[in-house]
Amino acid sequence: MQAPATPKSQTAPIRPKARVTRRSVLIADRVADWTIRIGGLAIILAVFGIMIFLLQVAIPLFLGASVTGHFQRDIANGAGNPRFVAVDEYNTVGILIGDDGRVSAFHLPTGAALTVNNLDFGGGVATAASRTLDWRDMAFGFADGHVRFARLDPTAGVIAGDSLPPGLTRLANGDSTDGKVVYAAAPGGQYRRIGVGVATDAAQPIAEGAAIVAIDYRVGGTIERPSRAFVTVDSKGVVRLSSAETRMNLLTGAARTTITTATLPPLPVGTQVARVLLTANADQAYVADAGGTVYRYDTRNLNAPVLAETVDLLPRDARLSAFGFLIGEQSLMVAGTDGTVAGYFRLQRESASTGDGYRLIRAHDLEPHAAAVTGFGASQRGKMFVTGTADGLWIRHGTSEQTLLKLSHAESAGGRHVLLSPRDDGVFAFGGDGKVDFWRVSIPHPETTLKTIFGQVWYEGYSEPGYTWQSSAGTDSFEAKLSLIPLIFGTIKGTVYALLFAVPVALLAAIYTSEFLNRRARSVVKPAMEMMASLPSVVLGFIAALILAPIVETWIAAVILAVVVVPLSLLVAAHLWQILPIDWALRLDGVPKLLMIFATVALGVYLATLLGPAFEYVFFAGDFRAWVNGSTGRATPFLFILLFPVSFLAAQLAAERLDLPWLRAIADRTRKDGVVAMLRWLVLLTGSAAIAYGIAEILAALGADLRGGVVGTYVQRNTLIVAFAMGFAVIPIIYTIAEDALNSVPEHLRAASLACGGTPWQTATRVILPTAMSGVFAGIMVGMGRAVGETMIVVMAAGNTPILDWNVFNGLRALSANIAVELPESVKDGTLYRTLFLAALTLFVMTFVINTAAEMIRQRFRKRAFQL
């Protein structure tokens, strides 16, 4: 550092030392420099880090599936042309079951054969067969009209590494076998023991002297009391629905099976039955012929089954090649030789000309294959399924309609046996030529696409495609419905109603504080309003939901009345004030006037509670909640209440323009401006009320009724409550920013306007407000951002129903509340988890846009205010 240049005359005798800055100072300076720079820029990193992190978690929802491995093995097929193929839960053992009951099992990764027992068909060859969705229960029909049940149990147990039996043959990847059972290496030094157990029941006669050509078998009920039902079609075209009950004799241990059979209404003569299907509780049976015509039987009443519907599901020239349920047995997938794949459900339709009022509706059209579909396999866990053609295998999802994976042509893939392994992590194909193909696949989120999350999806059992959020339910076959639209709608609904309440209150209060309050009153009132901002939102939510909601429910008519009465009483008070002599008015201006305003508001609220019941009696037939349900009363009163302020404002504006010289003359002559103004106002009021009522009557006569629209069924925790509670959170924000903006309008503008003779009111509305407009607008935007993200109030007071309607008396489910409620319960990296991250990202983006816009508007305002 250089020594300062000092005049020679003052130089001390001491020679200036060649002073050097200490190293430590320099280093500290450099370190501080970098740390602070990095720390400052870290804020950008934080914002974008959050966004990128959320995005990175959400993105896998939209990535399809991937193949993690593929192999083809030649196997020793002892089952001839197999009827069924299966693999165990861990993709270790493959199983083929032939028409003659022979079972062939093999170690899947190597193709090494295992010795297993065969099914006991007593020498017969099955002419029809069927199995349940989990592959464990099978039923076979024979040419002599008998039926046999069988069970297949891939047995699995875990044993410790040191208790492996000796003398095993090594297979691959640490797997080994004793010829019957595979010991597969499992994590933690343990082994999984996987074998194949089969059991066959005795033959049961069903069709006398006719071969069974088609059968379907379902096991329902509980484990202790299973109910087994099956439907058969014999070669004479007779359709029978039977239920089997097995009783164990407690003394002998012998099982006795009794079968009850009902014959269903006959099929048309000459029907070539291709496939039959039965639902688990045996209330619907479907018989499909080779041409794709489906005969649907309603068997809810087994004593009087009806042929409910006959419908052709395929184009004329196509033949049926696959026909099966997806899990839950509501979605019916139909594929034809023309390559089409479509999903149907049975839905109640008023126009249905069917026997039971239901109709099969084609709900999903999936991407068609170029070649005939030959194989079909449904997932045991979700709505996924695999279709096979001569060209390859496609993994698809029935609800989202997406094709997740296209496995290209493999030699054996053209066969009719394709299946998804029990954990949906593998695809197995058997072509009949002794070759099996196995693909390991990873399909983490088959049910989500951009369309299922943001578009309309037709879920089974729903009468039409829609936006639905329902993430969990009690049953295994439940399909999560993850559309963010109802939640986004809920957020928007809450925000709109909250702003409808908060913006007027906050803006008007801000204008009054900035322009018409003296400094002392302001220094009390402004912190009081700002204190609202520091109220924790959990407190607001609690008060709103547990204290306010029950009160508002009882006093709803009074609350609605207050919206009219409080402004009206203020207007009346204002006109009375105008009648006061001018010197009185001037003397009382300021704090006394403010106190009077307070008193007027309080009086208005009191009047509203006083008149509430009477108002309810006159306008809403005595019971508001019955009225909003639409059960009593007429549409006119509410229309009138909404139209009245509009018509009054319109009349007021028109009257502003209208200059009535004679009225002015009267005012001049009598020197009673206030009285004249009041009379004039009363005329306006009654006139506009009459006009509003007239319009309301006309609209009501034309059929307009807001019930079912913005008003409707009343629930206790509703949007009105949310809007009010959210007001506490939003009002102080808008108020503070708007007040600051109004206040920072340069004083000379105000002075100029007043000097030109403008009243304070004219100055405020025509000079100050337009100048500060962009700042005020920015305040509204920031308030909106707060309302969008507000969580606790919505969680507690909004009822959390994910619905799409604008009814202010109904609840809502906002994005934020949904995240708070469901994220703690969701499994890490599961579909729901990622969807909730997507919801958070949506929220982030919404507020990011709003806040960035607000900030830009604000910066423009600052620049403009600076230039003035």
Per CB under 8 A, does 847 bind other proteins?
A: yes
Instruction: Give the span between the Cα atoms of 828 and 147, in whole angstroms.
Output: 47
Contact 132, 226 (CB under 8 A): no
Binding mask 306-345 for other proteins (x = CB under 8 A): ----------------------------------------
In the complex, minimum distance from the CB of residue 761 to other proteins, in angstroms, rounded to a whole number: 3
User: How many other β-carbons are positioned within 10 Å of the β-carbon of residue 43?
Assistant: 9
In the complex, minimum distance from the CB of residue 795 to other proteins, in angstroms, rounded to a whole number: 8
Q: Which of 6, 11, 53, 63 binds other proteins (CB under 8 A)?
A: 53
Residues 802-841 touching other proteins, rule: CB under 8 A, are 816, 819-820, 823-824, 828, 836-837, 840
Closer Cβ to other proteins, 255 or 586, answer by number: 586
In the complex, minimum distance from the CB of residue 547 to other proteins, in angstroms, rounded to a whole number: 7
Region of 297-305, 433-441, 697-705, 847-855 interacting with other proteins (CB under 8 A): 847-855
Binding mask 533-572 for other proteins (x = CB under 8 A): -xxxxxxxxxx-xxx---x--x-----------xx--xx-
Region of 47-55, 214-222, 247-255, 707-715 interacting with other proteins (CB under 8 A): 47-55
Per CB under 8 A, does 765 bind other proteins?
A: yes
Burial label for 827, CB within 10 Å (0-12, 13-18, 19+), is exposed
Q: 767-784 b/e with 16+ CB inside 10 Å = b?
A: bbbebbbbbbbbbbbbbb
Tell whether the torsion through CA atoms of 385, 388, 394 and 399 is positive or negative: negative
Closer Cβ to other proteins, 113 or 684, answer by number: 684
Per CB under 8 A, does 187 bind other proteins?
A: no
Q: 362-395 b/e with 16+ CB inside 10 Å = b?
A: ebbebeebeebbbbbbbbbebbbbbbbbebbbbb
Burial label for 809, CB within 10 Å (0-12, 13-18, 19+), is buried
When computed from its CA atoms, the radius of gyration of the chain, rounded to whole angstroms, is 39
Instruction: Give the span between the Cα atoms of 124 and 131, in whole angstroms.
Output: 18
Closer Cβ to other proteins, 574 or 642, answer by number: 574
The three-state DSSP-derived secondary structure of 575-640 is: HHHHHCCHHHHHHHCCHHHHHHHHHHHHHHHHHHHHHHHHHHHHHCCCCHHHHHCCCCCCCHHHHH
Closer Cβ to other proteins, 40 or 123, answer by number: 40
Closer Cβ to other proteins, 148 or 750, answer by number: 750
In the complex, minimum distance from the CB of residue 189 to other proteins, in angstroms, rounded to a whole number: 8
Q: Which of 759, 830, 860, 863 binds other proteins (CB under 8 A)?
A: 759
Residues 405-444 touching other proteins, rule: CB under 8 A, are none
Contact 355, 308 (CB under 8 A): yes
Region of 64-72, 300-308, 477-485, 790-798 interacting with other proteins (CB under 8 A): 790-798
Residues 481-540 touching other proteins, rule: CB under 8 A, are 504-509, 511-513, 516-517, 525, 527-529, 531-532, 534-540
Per CB under 8 A, does 474 bind other proteins?
A: no
Residues 91-110 touching other proteins, rule: CB under 8 A, are none
Q: Which of 172, 582, 665, 690 binds other proteins (CB under 8 A)?
A: 582
Residues 650-679 touching other proteins, rule: CB under 8 A, are 656, 659, 664, 668, 673-674, 677
Q: In a 3-state reduction of DSSP, which class is residue 473? A: coil
Q: Which of 11, 16, 29, 748 binds other proteins (CB under 8 A)?
A: 29
In the complex, minimum distance from the CB of residue 709 to other proteins, in angstroms, rounded to a whole number: 26
Instruction: Give the span between the Cα atoms of 314 and 336, in whole angstroms.
Output: 7
Q: In a 3-state reduction of DSSP, which class is residue 127? A: strand
Closer Cβ to other proteins, 171 or 840, answer by number: 840
Q: Which of 44, 250, 269, 658 binds other proteins (CB under 8 A)?
A: 44
In the complex, minimum distance from the CB of residue 543 to other proteins, in angstroms, rounded to a whole number: 6
In the complex, minimum distance from the CB of residue 741 to other proteins, in angstroms, rounded to a whole number: 16
Q: Which of 46, 76, 563, 665 binds other proteins (CB under 8 A)?
A: 46
Binding mask 593-612 for other proteins (x = CB under 8 A): xx--xx-xxx----------
Residue type, 396: R
* Tokens matching residue 323: 């026909």
Contact 591, 629 (CB under 8 A): no
Per CB under 8 A, does 702 bind other proteins?
A: no
Q: Which of 126, 721, 782, 812 binds other proteins (CB under 8 A)?
A: 782
Region of 67-75, 95-103, 297-305, 725-733 interacting with other proteins (CB under 8 A): 725-733
Q: How far is CA 432 from the centre of its chain?
A: 45
Closer Cβ to other proteins, 164 or 390, answer by number: 164
Nearest to 307 by CA among 265, 348, 278: 265
In the complex, minimum distance from the CB of residue 696 to other proteins, in angstroms, rounded to a whole number: 24
Instruction: Give the span between the Cα atoms of 833 and 838, in whole angstroms.
Output: 9
Size of the site for other proteins (CB under 8 A): 130
461 to each of 329, 363, 457, 474, 760, how far by Cα in Å? 11, 10, 12, 16, 64
Instruction: Give the span between the Cα atoms of 632 and 120, in whole angstroms.
Output: 70
Task: Give DSSP secondary structure letters for 361-430.
Answer: EEEEEEPPPSS-EEEEEE-SSSSEEEEEESS-EEEEETTT--EEEEEPP-GGGGSSEEEE-TTSSEEEEE
* Tokens matching residue 757: 């003779």
Binding mask 188-207 for other proteins (x = CB under 8 A): --------------------
Q: Which of 109, 727, 779, 811 binds other proteins (CB under 8 A)?
A: 727
What is the DSSP-derived secondary structure letter of residue 534? Answer: G
Q: Which of 32, 199, 610, 653 binds other proteins (CB under 8 A)?
A: 32
